[in-house]
Each structure stands twice: as C-alpha cells, then as structure tokens.
Amino acid sequence: MTETADPNPPVANHFIRQIILTDRAAGKHGGRVATRFPPEPNGYLHLGHAKAICLDFGLAREFGGTTALRFDDTNPAKEDLEYVEAIKNDVQWLGFEWDALRHTSDYFQVLYLCAEKLIRDGKAFVCDLSAEEVRAYRGTLTEPGRNSPYRERSVEENLDLFRRMRAGEFADGERTLRARIDMASGNINMRDPAIYRIRKLTHQNTGDAWPIYPMYDYAHCVSDAVEGITHSFCTLEFEDHRPLYDWFLDQLDLPGDASLTEPLRRDGLWLPPSKPQQIEFARGNLDYTVMSKRKLMALVEGGLVDGWDDPRMPTLAGARRRGFTPAAIRTFWERAGVTKQNSVIGFGVLEGCVREDLDARAPRRMAVLDPLKLVLSNLDPAHEETLEFANHPKNAEFGTRELPFSRDVWIEREDFAEVPPKGFHRLVPGGEVRLRGVGIVRCEDVVKNNAGDVVELRGTLDADTRPGRPGADRKVKGTIHWVSARHAVAAEVRLYDRLFSVADPDDDSDGKTYADHLNPDSKRVVRAWIEPAAAATEPERHVQFERIGYFVADRHDHARSAPVFNRTATLRDSWAAGK
C-alpha cells in the first residue's frame, strides 16, 4: 500500500529553502532546481533517511524541479540487491517518485577519465603506502601531515601505474590513487585523500569489469555534476568535506570539458553537467532509538529483532509494518524543521503525529485483549441480535457496521476490580457500568476457580437503559467495550513498544552498550477476541480498537481466517511522564 505525498504541502520555510529562493532570484543554474537522494545499498533506510527524502523530493517538487534516486554503489563488499529494492519501495511508500534512477556505477567510466585528467594535470598520484602508513603520514588536528614518498612521481609513471591498477595487475590494497592537494592543510580531508582503491570484488551491476573502485568523496561530487544537480544536500558530518567536494569540481570543470562525459552520450545518460552546491543540515535524531546501520544490522544478524522490518526497528520497513503512516512521518519531519543545530527529538512526538493522522482515518472496531467473560443471566441463553454502530464517531462518511450481541460477552479483565482502587469507575461487585451501545449492566456474582482467580462474572442487563428506551439516559460513571463471545473471532495481537528502555541507548559512559538497553517488554503477543468486522480488515489497513489504541493488520501474516494485528500506538503517550 503506497500513498502519494500532497503535491501542495504546507510550505516549511528554512535556511535551505531561502538559499534556493536566492539562487533562483539571481538566475543561478537558469533557475533550475535539481536534487538527488543518494543512499548506499548496504542496509534498509531508517526514519532519519526519511528527513532527507522529504527534503530532497519536497523542495524539488515545490520549485518544479527534478530529483534523482542514485544508488551509491561504490563498495560491492557491503551491497546487496535486496537493499536496492527495499530502498525503492520505501521511497515510493513515503509518497515520492524519482525523475531518474541512477547508480554511481553508471559513471564508472567517467570517473576513470576524470581521474586520468587529475593525473595529467599533476593533481593526483599513485601511492604505494599501506593503509596503516597513510594514517601515520596524515598527521593530527594539531600537527601537519607528511608528504608520501611517492608524491613526486612523474605524470607518465602515475598514468602507467593507474592503468595497470585498472587492468587488475596489482593486489587489493597494494596501491591507491590519491589527490595531490596539501598535507599541511588544517582540514584533514584535504591531506591528499584517496580517490581510488583496488578491490577485486564482483559488483552487482558491472560484474568483474572493474578491479578498482572510486572513494565516496570523489564519486559523489562527480556524480552530482554529471546528473546536473544544482543543490546537493548532506548531513552536518560532511561539512568538513565540502572544500574537497568543491576542489574536485574546480579541477575537473565538467561543464567545460565535454570529453569527460562522452561515455554518457554513448550510453544515453548524458545531461548538461552542472557545478552543484553542497549544503549541510542537521540529521534527524530520535530518542529511544539507534540509527547506525552497523548497529541495526547487528540487531538483525544477532537475532535480537525479527528482521529489518521488525515493527520495533526504526527502519522505514519496520515503521510501515508497525502501522506508522507516510503522512505522519512527513508531517513529523516538516514540524521538526531543517536547521544546522543537532538535536534529539522525542519519539513521542512522532507517535503524536501518527495518532493525529489515524484519529481521522482509522475506523473504529471493538476488541478485547485480556478477556474476562460476562454472562448476562437475565437474557435467554440463545439470545442474539444485531446492533448498528458508527464506523467513526466524527465522520458520518465512514458509514455504519453491524455488530452481533449475545448473552455472553467478553470484557477486558482490567475493566473489573473486586477491590476497586480509588477513582475506579468500571465494573465492581454490585456495581453498574454502561456496556457500550447496549445499556447498563450490573455485576451480580463473581465466579472463581480453585486457585481463587476470577474466571467469570454474572450480571444483568437493565432493559430500560437500551438505546431508544425511556431509561437510556440514566447516568453511570463508566462505559466499557465488549465483543460477543459467541461471534468473536480469535486474533493474534502483537503489542509493540519502544525497542530500548533508555532515551540514549548510544551512551556507553556507564560501560554498557546499546544492546544492554533492549526493552524486554518491547514486544508482547496476546490472543485476543475481536468483532467480525475487524477480522475482515485488509492487510495494512488501520483500525482503532476502542479504548485500547491504534492497530494495523499485519501486511504479511494477517488473514481474515487468522487475523494478526500490530499495535501502532496507544491512545495516549504512556512514556510522557516516565514509564
């Protein structure tokens, strides 16, 4: 189930939007706006990525521009086609469509030609230092680095060695191609960074054609330029990389050198190259969550969760299966805003957006998760009738449904108290409560088993309080929900909560890791009873189980004959005051 984003969403003004407005007013890029979303296909997207997706696609849409979905497939050791398909599904599920689908590997020949140009211009050299030696030569934040002993190789020798790297002559890690910039730079990223490394791995798109692969900082800016990107949005950790981004583009001058992009003309991928601008913003952080792909993968591979789409995971696949809606996620990031200030947003804020969305769109149904039987002994044992209930109390357009009622009903165990606490307004021995849509019932008797546990209640229904009867307006303090025991359908209900029990699971100052903070109550599975109309819910459709919360029919496991519902959110934030 996918949902199209509002083509005219409320305008969220922020500094990046102001940059675009200024650029357009000045005629920069001819007024064009072209953005890209460039995920690495080495895992599933998470809620933080949704912020970038909304920004990339949303701004381009606002200004009549384009957005490319580009897979940064430069590290075949970690990439998988499963992740490629998952990313495409997630972007579409959020309500967006790309104008072009690209891979960095589409530009491998262009990247190679650009590297040869850097060598010819004396801006790159082949280095024989090992990775450990490179680190030793790099220097520190307070000490300059040292030049590689291979830095002064001739252009001819560098071209020869680089072409031999390309031909697969050398072993993995034996040589790298490095930019020749400034080992004394105060920005460590400018200290002769690697451009290419030798990795003899099969690539998902290019097979064994390339034994060398470009590094991200190099491939990213070149890919942006050949795609005609105007504004390249990155998170704040790339701010120190921007001088390198601009240096590569200045040296290569892709808009001015048609020979570098000739392979794209041949492959039908050519666009007028641009000189894009990198703009950084603060990533999206949520409490009670980890966003590191490495940690998320460890949770999956360690069996600590039920896969990438476990509803407790912050992945978009997990959020979808839990029942978070695209509209709620978009609204959440619109309200969070776009700034350069790192901050952590409460997970409860996201849940609030979900509740707000589902309150308007989710039909109401009745379900009992912890059943206790109530027998209305003044009705005939064969009593059976059909009642009409509104599907939504605030929207008549949702229509009505028929709900069966019989002598024996299931109620929530927590709606009865033999010794009621102060302020308890539900069912007690000798007390009365309104049975939702039926009338007022009185508890006459409490049945227990040999262990002293309450196993059944017996009571009576006041017929004068039935809807339409003279006593229907008689007041009692409590109203409870129910389902007919004779007609109820057994269902598996999965009660999901936050995966971690602390707000900052990444904080290891106490010697514990994020895995030590897993919430043991993050998933509970109960056998519930639901009304027949709830069982008929289609997979991925939402309902509000009255007085309980918002639920979604599981997209994979739910069937009418064997219903499975996942709790999306409780009716109120149970964590707000500390759980």
**313 annotated binding-site participant:** no
Q: Collect all residues with Cβ–Cβ distance below 8 Å to 278 and sequence separation of at least 6.
A: 221, 232, 233, 234, 238, 241, 242, 245, 246
| Residue 363, both tokens | 């039909």
Q: Which of 502, 489, 498, 475 is nearest to 533 (CA)?
A: 489
Q: Which of 68, 66, 50, 60 is nearest to 17 (CA)?
A: 60
Amino acid at 362: A
Q: Where do we find the tokens 């031999």?
A: 164
**40 annotated binding-site participant:** yes
CA distance 162 to 112: 10
Give the count of alpha carbons within 13 A of 180, CB side only.
22
CA distance 579 to 291: 23
Q: What are phi and psi of 448, to 5 degrees?
A: -125, 160
CA distance 286 to 504: 9
Count CB-CB contacts under 10 A for residue 562.
Answer: 12
**41 annotated binding-site participant:** yes
CA distance 295 to 505: 11
Q: Which residues pair with 446 in a beta bridge?
A: 457
Catalytic residue among 40, 62, 492, 540: 40
CA distance 301 to 323: 24
**509 annotated binding-site participant:** no
**116 annotated binding-site participant:** no
Beta 400-406 vs 367-368: how paired, if at all?
unpaired
Strands (E), 364-428: 364-365, 367-368, 371-376, 384-390, 400-406, 408-412
**267 annotated binding-site participant:** no
Q: Which residues pair with 448 in a beta bridge?
A: 454
**50 annotated binding-site participant:** yes
**48 annotated binding-site participant:** yes
**542 annotated binding-site participant:** no
Q: Which residues pair with 463 in a beta bridge?
A: none
Biggest alpha carbon distance in the chain? 102
**52 annotated binding-site participant:** yes
| Residue 488, both tokens | 């109820």
**42 annotated binding-site participant:** yes
**216 annotated binding-site participant:** yes
| Residue 277, both tokens | 């601008």
On whether the CB atoms of residues 497 and 519 are closer than 8 A, the answer is: yes
Give the count of alpha carbons within 13 A of 415, CB side only.
27
Q: Cα 326 vs. chain centroid, distance in angstroms?
A: 10
| Residue 470, both tokens | 């003279």
Q: Which residues pair with 410 in a beta bridge?
A: 373, 483
Q: Which of 243, 197, 193, 250 is nearest to 225 (CA)?
A: 250
CA distance 19 to 22: 5
Count CB-CB contacts under 10 A for residue 400.
Answer: 12
**235 annotated binding-site participant:** yes
Q: Cα 496 vs. chain centroid, distance in angstroms?
A: 16
Catalytic residue among 24, 163, 283, 486: 283
Give yes or no: 283 in active site.
yes
**394 annotated binding-site participant:** no
Catalytic residue among 180, 293, 322, 555: 293
Q: Cα 85 vs. chain centroid, distance in angstroms?
A: 15
Give yes or no: 40 in active site.
yes
Query: Catalytic positions, please?
Result: 40, 283, 293
Summarize the annotated binding site for L-glutamine as residue ranges.
Answer: 72, 216
Binding site as annotated, residues for ATP: 40-42, 46-52, 235, 291-293
Residue numbers belonging to the annotated binding site: 40-42, 46-52, 72, 216, 235, 291-293
